[in-house]
Structure 1
Amino acid sequence: MTAEHASAPAPRTSPAPGTLVVRTVAIDALPGGPTALVDLLPDAHPLAWVRRGDGIVGWGEVARIESWGPGRFADADAAWRAVLRRAVVRDEVHLPGTGAVAFGSFAFDDAGPGAADDAGTDGPDVADDGRPDGVLVVPRVVVGRRGGTTWMTTFETSGSLASPPGAHVLPRPAPVTSPGRVVLRDGSVAAQDWKDLVAEAARRIRAGHLDKVVLARDAVATTEHPVDPRYLLGRLAASYEACWTFSVDGMVGATPELLVRSEKGLVTSRVLAGTIRREPGAGAPHDPALFLAQSSKDLEEHEYAVRSVADALAPSCSSMNVPEAPFVLHLPNVLHLASDVTGVLASPEDGPAPTSLGLAAALHPSAAVCGTPTADARALIREIEGLDRARYAAPVGWLGADGDGEWGIALRSCEILPSDPLAVRLFAGCGIVGASDPDAELAESEAKLEPITGALGL
């Protein structure tokens, strides 16, 4: 089924909330360290957006907004506005992430579930599992930290602003469980067959059909015991402090790429494209950072990605700063070419400024996760990639009542399959240009799987 063949269902909010009562208060400081927030999570359905020990985590669910198809972002945004119109908010802290917030995760492809069916994928049966293409989760409790301030937000659908006894007492988390023995196997496309796809994409680029395409591959990890997302979150937050560690509705990861942050009128996007292993094998350059910074293939790939982000943000900004050259971002397993694009959000005359989710929708998919030109790259992905990306490489993050928020791209991530608690689907993708080498791209994809394989204990 594709967008051309069927209309998407209407968005759904469940349960239909009455008055949402939200209260944020300051609480005692947490211990230092990158895992202080994720260590609080009390159950196996955690919500998290954490970097360098700061951010927000949540648990419970007071409301859920689900959306489908090409309108999944706008529909979720409008439904969130509707929830807020029935909300009473008392925020005693007034920092980004306080007050009413919702955690969100969205599908990569706007054709909805089954888009990859036309490509003939025979991988795990995840395309037609009935899951929505977008979800915003309003938790019952959020705990956040920014700088030296720590807070707790409680959400209720009835009652008064008077907090019930113990409402602002941190829970005693249940023990985090290990997945035990883990076996990794190929996903929708075998690793060696994926190299043929890279070669075909590079051939089409050299033939002038498009400039760049991002090809993804998946792998499936089978575990001895049901996967506790908190096990992954703690290990990712400790090992990848510079990344945004996230968990929303079964998507868990540590992304180095910030799609967009909107905060008090300032818009920021961190663009990554161009990658090399940090500890290369035999025959690799002696100084990988210098090699990456001078690589014409990687610089070309990066230029396409930066240009796509700047072009997408420009209509919403009164001024922008686009760096002339990237810097090298050092992560434990890889190095990336990175650029921070910033802008000042314009005040439109005919309505409100776009929310952070609206900006994420305008940016998705960027050249860093799709290609250039976007329509041609997406068409090639659907034709040859051979898998349903689900929510991989799509926006994940949080949205506040004022429209501000942070949205990353769901990279270095996995999906804990709702149909099988002993299976985890891992993803990695690589930007392909005319000069791409299939063996090098496969090695790069293996490096990008390492955060999740390491978190699983492999």
Structure 2
Amino acid sequence: MPEPVMPDLAALTAKDKPTLWRHGSGSSAETIVGIGEYARFTASGPDRFESLQQQFSAFCSTLRTSGVRAFVSVTFSPVSRYSSVLIVPRVQWHISERGTRVIDLANGTDTILDLPPASPTAPPPAVAQHVLSRTEGDLTGEQFTAAVREAVTRIVAGELAKTVLARDEVIQLDGAVPVGALAQALTEAYPTCWTFYVDGLIGASPEMLVRVTNGEVRSRALAGSAPVTGDLDIDQAASDDLMTSAKDASEHAYAARSIIEVLRTIADVEVSDTHVLRLPTIMHLATDVTGFLTGEHSALQVAGLLHPSAAICGTPRDAAARVLAELEGFDRGPYSGPVGWVDDAGNGEFVIALRCALTEHRDEGDALRLYAGAGIVVGSDPQTELAETATKMLPMQRAIAQVLP
């Protein structure tokens, strides 16, 4: 009998209705790939997190197999026209240094394979699709800078302390989105980020919202940023400036506080010193929060308590959400909402859906709608914030350019 061979990400995600979650590189990487849909649950409104959890818990009570995971994508806004979704794949590949487990819910099989962790090193596969056009989205660059000016005016007037404004960009293809190739390009370029593909949303986010593992909880606040040039001296100077910038420190403090205050109500936590997290195209101020839950809370439920943090909404929360909705003027859908996975024991991992794009199906072919935002506080400069959004779109733009001619 021939030895089983580990399929790469492109091969796995070429299957029916794929879902994907990957973090890390080499032997430390963890990958979860779903093929097909065994169950699908949707929810909307302010109770969408709890509704999805209740539906998933009821579903799990009917299963004989433990360790089943579901992929989740929740909208940023409770009034979005998009639905929040929880998908239980028909076939689930759980791949890590501990081994490879394949659960087939349709056939009732649960198999441990003697295979090494997936570690694709080959270039992304060639694709037949092409980029037809690249255009500004619902909020143009000019409209974005005008919105920043208005937001600063409202902040100075005392209406709020911080808001986060986003804009979008549309890349039109002449065929279907090559999910496998894009995912492979993202995971190889950004191994410290979390690469995901859930219900048409693809990206590589640097910002973990929450991880729950047998009662241990972890979260990370990212806010305040500077571009990375690749020049060591320039980037070190930018890092030093970021650590001493009053504007960035203020923006970051709001984001960190919004996470710490929530987690302290449900867990005993410790807070790290603020430090600089450097990625290939951008660096951020970061604060890590760790601890242990004091009650029964699933990862999905904790994500619901934390969302929306000041990092992607602002503060005070209600005022910031109202102002960004007025000034952006478009529906974010799942962008900047939690995306991740949860299992039947409540363990799971969620990131904020950043550095991402949403697939839109059109007659001429699929389109990818890219999103990026920037935190607005007193002293924010419209052109600087616009440049920040351009930097944050680079991961998706580079992955698309790498695999689509």
The normalised TM-score by structure 2 is: 0.89
- Confirm whether residue 437 of structure 1 aligns to residue 386 of structure 2: no
* Separation in 1, partners of 2:180, 2:5: 21
Residue 44 and residue 230 in structure 1: after superposition, are their counterparts in 2 closer, same or farther (change >3 A)? farther
Tell me the alpha carbon deviations over residues 74-109 of structure 1, each in whole angstroms, 9 at most, x when there is no partner.
1110000110111111x5xxxxxxx21110101110
Distance in 1, matches of 2:154 and 2:346, equals 41
The residue number in structure 1 matching 2:14 is 42
Displacement of 1:183 in angstroms is 2.1
Q: Does 1:332 align with 2:280?
A: yes
**Post-superposition CA distance 1:158-206 (Å, at most 9, x none):** x66598xx9x9xxxxxx76353134211101111221010111111111
Deviation at 1:146, TM superposition (A): 2.2
Q: Single out whichever of 223-232 and 56-65 deviates more from structure 2.
A: 223-232
Question: Residue 12 of structure 2 contacts residue 180 of structure 2 at CA under 8 Å; is this kept in 1?
Answer: no
User: For residues 136-169 of structure 1, what are the alpha-carbon distances to aligned partners after superposition, in whole Å with 9 as ceiling and x for unaligned?
Assistant: 111111112222422212112xx66598xx9x9x
Question: What do the CA deviations read for 1:364-411 (whole angstroms, capped 9, x no partner)?
Answer: 000000001000100101211111101000010001000110011000
Alpha-carbon displacement from aligned partner over 1:406-432 (angstroms, at most 9, x marks no partner): 011000000001455421110000000
Q: Which runs of 5+ in 1 are unaligned?
A: 1-26, 92-98, 114-130, 169-174, 348-352
Q: Look up the match of 2:327.
A: 384
- Cα distance in 1, alignment partners of residues 235 and 381 from structure 2: 16
Counterpart of 1:51? Answer: 23
Is the CA contact (8 Å cut-off) linking 2:196 and 2:204 kept in structure 1?
A: yes
1:67 equivalenced with 2:17 (yes/no):
no
Does the alignment pair 1:355 with 2:298? Answer: yes
1:182, 1:456 within 8 Å by CA — same for their partners in 2?
A: no
Instruction: Give the corresponding residue for 1:14.
Output: none
> d(CA) in 2 for partners of 1:178 and 1:381?
39
Conservation of the 8 A alpha-carbon contact between 1:178 and 1:227: no
- Residue matched to 2:54: 78
- Distance in 2, matches of 1:162 and 1:287, equals 52
Aligned match of 1:395: 338
On the 8 A contact 1:46/1:230 being kept in 2, the answer is no
Superposition RMSD in Å: 2.4
The counterpart of 1:269, out of the listed 216, 219, 224, is 219
Q: Give 1:341 deviation, angstroms.
A: 0.7
Give the C-alpha shift of residue 55 in structure 1. Answer: 2.4
User: Counterparts of 1:152 and 1:161 in 2: how far apart (Å)?
Assistant: 8
The residue number in structure 1 matching 2:145 is: 195
SS of 2:46's partner is helix
Which residue of structure 1 aligns with residue 68 of structure 2? Answer: 100
Find the counterpart in structure 1 of residue 88 from structure 2: 138
Identity of aligned residues (%): 38
What SS is found at the alignment partner of 2:195?
strand
Q: Distance between the aligned counterparts of 1:160 and 1:238, measured in 2? A: 33
Partner residue in 2 for 1:310: 260
Query: Secondary structure of 1:287's match?
Result: helix
SS of 1:56's equivalent? strand
| Ranges in structure 2 where 5+ consecutive residues have no aligned partner | 116-124
Cα contact 1:100–1:401 (8 A) shared by 2: yes
Are residues 39 and 306 of structure 1, via their aligned partners in 2, closer, same or farther at CA, if it must alter by over 3 Å? farther
Using a 3 Å threshold, how does the CA distance of structure 1 residues 436 and 83 change in structure 2: closer, same or farther?
A: same
User: What is the SS of the residue equivalent to 1:391?
Assistant: coil
8 Å contact kept, 2:228–2:283: yes
Distance across 2 between alignment mates of 1:186 and 1:444? 16
What is the SS of the residue equivalent to 2:85? strand
Match of 1:177 in 2: 127
1:31-74 Cα offsets, whole Å, 9 max, x none, are: 8xxxx445532336321110123221111111101112112111
Q: May I ask how many residue pairs the two structures share in their alignment?
A: 383
1:253 and 2:229 matched:
no
Secondary structure at the aligned position of 2:339 is classed as strand
1:186 to 117, 122, 136: 136
Find out whether 1:345 has 2:293 as its counterpart: yes
Q: Which runs of 4+ in 1 moved over 4 A?
A: 27-31, 36-39, 159-163
TM, length-normalised to structure 1: 0.79
Secondary structure of the structure 1 residue equivalent to 2:399: helix
Q: Tell me the distance in 2 between the aligned counterparts of 1:241 and 1:361.
A: 26
How many angstroms does 1:448 deviate by?
A: 0.4
Q: Which residue is equivalent to 1:322?
A: 271
